[in-house]
Amino acid sequence: MSFPQVRPRRMRRTPALRRLVAETRIHPAQLVLPMFVREGLTEARPIPTMPGVVQHSRDTLRKAAVEAVHAGVGGLMIFGVPETRDETGSASCDPNGILNVALRDLASEVGDATVIMSDLCLDEFTSHGHCGVLAPDGSVDNDATLEIYAEMAVAQARAGAHMVGLSGMMDGQVGAVRSALDDSDLSDISVLAYAVKYASAFYGPFRDAVESALTGDRLTYQQDPPNGREALREVALDVAEGADIVMVKPALPYLDVVSAVRAAVDVPVAAYQISGEYSMVEGAAANGWLDRERAILETLTSIRRAGADIILTYWAAEVGALLSRA
């Protein structure tokens, strides 16, 4: 008696078969495009450490946003780069500061065609480059920072943000911002919590993009890379405080954390494919060491497979257009 042979390869024989049985798929609506807008620019300025990414002027930001919307991206995450900074990051709350002006521009340009998200952190606005205000001893003053975050959230929401992205890793930041929004009749504004943000070596190109003034490190408030269980405690606290979405950052070095967070919560889970992840692929591709398009899609697929519902990636518009043509 002969027995049928088990041949999994049968289902890999043609592109059509592989598409039919694919377990993980990427859709443009699951991708969010981070964008930088710099005060004082009249045209886009390339970021040397992030090939293909630029600091936008207000005009080029609007045009790039429209292109991203046409590519089907799910959202835009906006970072502001001011011309001047001070100890308390006062430009962050200024209705006429670059981030809030840019949010108004986008609200006028694209409306509700995509989700307009704003980075809610002080590091781009402070002269010392930390994510909060400093106490007299030089440490970051958590509670004083929360007061400014609350003010920033209201300013960003009134400027046109649909969602605020809390990236500073201050204890209690979600609760403080949620309360401030609710108390200001802005309860419809969503909160994306950078619930798990590691003190990573992969942020270098981003700091060039926002012209960070940081000296030293953020080890006392960003999460320590060896710790995974701690990430779940951070996530649980943010969900309890009212986070609508929780995010893990970076993505690729922490796929195990993405998976664990997905299993632990019933809110959407995001992951941020950060600047260093982007620049590694672009650098290797420029040297002919790997196939750029395949590497991009493979990395994004791995993040989705790990459990992320939403991915912030600098390739969002490009990949959205690519997937739309597929």
Q: Are 87 and 133 in contact (CB under 8 A)?
A: yes
Closest to 167 (Cα-Cα) out of 215, 211, 203: 203
Q: Are 154 and 180 in contact (CB under 8 A)?
A: yes
What are the start-end ranges of the H helices in 195-228? 204-209
Q: Two tokens at 96? A: 């006429």
| DSSP-assigned letters across all residues of 165-192 | EE-S--TTHHHHHHHHHHHTT-TTSEEE
Catalytic one of 249, 261, 279, 323? 249
Q: What is the CB neighbour count within 10 angstroms for residue 324?
A: 12
Q: Two tokens at 175? A: 């609760």
Known active-site residue 63: no
Q: What distance in Å separates the CA atoms of residue 326 and residue 322, rounded to the nearest whole number?
A: 6
Catalytic one of 178, 197, 262, 304? 197
Q: What distance in Å separates the CA atoms of residue 274 and residue 313, rounded to the nearest whole number?
A: 7
Residues with catalytic roles? 197, 249
